Amino acid sequence: MTTPFYVSPQQAMADRAEYARKGIARGRSVVVLQYTDGIVFVAENPSRALHKVSEIYDRIAFAAVGKYNEFENLRIGGVRYADLRGYTYDREDVTARGLANVYAQTLGTIFSSAAEKPYEVELIVAEVGEGPEDDQIYRLPHDGSIVDEHGSVAVGGNADQISSYLDQRHRDGMTLAEALKLAVDSLSRDNNGGERSLTAEHLEVAVLDRTRPQKRKFKRVLGGQLSRLMEPGEGGADAEASPESPEEPSSDSED
Amino acid sequence: MEANTRSTGRLPAAFLTPGSSSFMDFLGDHSPELLPGNRPLPPVQGAVEAPHGTTIVAVTFSGGVVLAGDRRATMGNVIAQRDIEKVFPADEFSAVGIAGTAGIAVEMVKLFQLELEHFEKVEGTVLSLEGKANRLSTMIRGNLGMAMQGLAVVPLFAGWDVDREKGRIFSYDVTGGRSEERGFAATGSGSMFARGALKKLYREDSTEEQAATAVLQALYDAADDDSATGGPDLARRIYPIITSLTEDGFKRFSEDEVSELARAIHERRLEEPDGPRAALL
């Protein structure tokens, strides 16, 4: 009969955290920034099919880095949670705070349960409010904690460096084009100080736009509209003037 | 493990089970008591008295389809509500109009809207128009038990088919039987009269405004002969709800637009009470 090695609880948790952090750090980053009309999500993601940024509910969106199957699972759980809550009570009763709490409980339980492998994911749940001061952004690390963020936030590999870059440059009242440019600049920086050039094809961009007339404020910024916004010097003025571009997928319903 | 998942407040297993993109399937799995069809009715003698919505009409036109409904709900011989809304957007490119027991119908529409939205969010793509029509069919079939106790819901579903690039209309019976209608359709107590009117007024190549006029004429005729259908209420400014579905998506006619059309029809009817005359041959 073999006797198991004794591992101290501190060591066990540190090992699990290390495991999750390494998994997360392997992936590309996602940045989320507040701008004057809402919240913009920018992810480096060459895939058009596997999304890192998604709609959860009318005013709530979700962004994640790490292991795809794990955060996809959590995303669908979140959509089900939000839709069930909205169906049982009212659409207004679905809040990012409630959703973030449920995610934190879920991640926390999995992280501390010895029977399960910790999820290698880091999530962002954001809700756009009536004005910039009502916006809410929550960051949810792998261990089940919640961090209330303001202005800008980055998750994924190289997140620390990107965060500090964003913190220094982000200011309130940026336009969408300015915020997008800052996000792309921050994502373009290598961890050893070099620069890569990121084009529209490498990016997944979505916004929660409080000025949208529809109930559902989430919108992907795609194709021509994204290229126009990213054009240097243009400031994306014409692209912003027409938020309802024909590239938009059929993802709205009015009520 | 089960006890553990309950006490910590984490998402229950049903939320994280992959596979289904259907909100109704999820509801059936996780909280079946919330599904409208799963609530057994207590045994009752005779029919249950509840407000009923009445007439819904739909007409295709060259660039899409128009779906409209009157504003009356009746309970027996009483007008239960004068300004009920019975036409709803289902998603960006489809709408549903309901006739039958109002309370159940409104709940059904709410669940149907959510079903389409849920699929869209989970899958990242929208259902085909046929797929949407079939989902609605399933929901009506689920209500059959209540329908047999007098609480029937019979909707009309219209949408812009993005793939075929045309407006389409689907009608239903109480068992969920679904059939596609060509050109025009009507459901509800005034539907016989409305359909008769549309038969004479329908033109394949009409414009959106002509189609809107046709449905208003049809509703006028339905209100003329069916006491449960409400005509345009000029005194209270309550007009039928007219919606259209085109390649630009769902649009609801503004009150001003409908009021203008309704008043024009009313003016003509002061001279010809039976409405426009069709050629004999």
Write out pLDDT tens, residues B139-166.
999 888 888 888 899 999 999 999 999 9
pLDDT for residue B195: 96
Indicate yes or no: CB of A254 within 8 angstroms of CB of B120.
no
If pLDDT is split at 50, 70 and 90, which confidence band does A239 have?
very low
Where does A26-240 sit in CATH, by number? Answer: 3.60.20.10
User: Each residue of B226-249: pLDDT tens digit?
Assistant: 999 999 999 999 999 999 999 999
Kindly report the nearest CA distance between residue B170 and chain A, in angstroms. Answer: 20
Sign of torsion over alpha carbons B119, B124, B125, B126 = positive
Q: Which of B5, B8, B17, B54 is catalytic?
A: B54
Query: Looking at A141-214, which runs of residues are DSSP E strands?
Result: 147-149, 152-155, 203-209
**pLDDT value at B269 more than 90:** yes
Q: What is the largest CA-CA distance in chain A?
A: 74
Nearest residue, CB atoms, A76 vs list B8, B31, B122: B122
Q: What is the mean pLDDT of chain B?
A: 92
User: Each residue of A9-38: pLDDT tens digit?
Assistant: 899 899 999 999 999 988 889 999 999 999
Kindly report the nearest CA distance between residue B214 and chain A, in angstroms. Answer: 25
Which ipTM value was assigned to this complex?
A: 0.88
Q: Are A153 and A31 in contact (CB under 8 A)?
A: yes
pLDDT for residue B262: 96
Q: Are B225 and B219 in contact (CB under 8 A)?
A: no
pLDDT for residue A233: 62
Query: How many residue pairs from chains A and B have C-beta atoms closer than 8 A?
Result: 93
Contacts of B131 in chain A (CB under 8 A): none
- The residue count of chain A comes to 255
**pLDDT value at A247 more than 50:** no
Mean pLDDT of the region B39-55: 80
Phi, psi (degrees; rounded to nearest 5) at A157 = -60, 140
If pLDDT is split at 50, 70 and 90, which confidence band does A241 have?
very low
Instruction: Report angle CA A129, A132, A137 to the nearest 5 degrees.
Output: 70
CA of A246: which chain B residue's CA is closest?
A: B248
CB of B3 less than 8 A from some CB of A: no
Kindly report the nearest CA distance between residue B185 and chain A, in angstroms. Answer: 24
Determine the Cα–Cα distance for residues A76 and A96; give it in Å rounded to an integer. Answer: 15
In chain A, where are the structural domains located? Answer: 26-240
CB of A188 less than 8 A from some CB of B: no
pLDDT for residue A137: 97
Query: In the structure encoding, which two tokens stand for residue A225, read together?
Result: 């509209």
Question: pTM value?
Answer: 0.89
CB of B120 less than 8 A from some CB of A: yes
Consecutive H or E run containing A81: helix A68-88
Q: Name the CATH architecture for the domain at B50-271.
A: 4-Layer Sandwich (3.60)
pLDDT for residue B3: 42
Active site residue B175: no
- Portion of chain A with pLDDT greater than 90, in percent: 68
User: How many C-beta neighbours within 10 Å does residue A76 have?
Assistant: 23
Query: Looking at A116-225, which runs of residues are DSSP E strands?
Result: 121-127, 136-140, 147-149, 152-155, 203-209, 218-221
In chain B, where are the structural domains located? Answer: 50-271
pLDDT for residue A1: 62
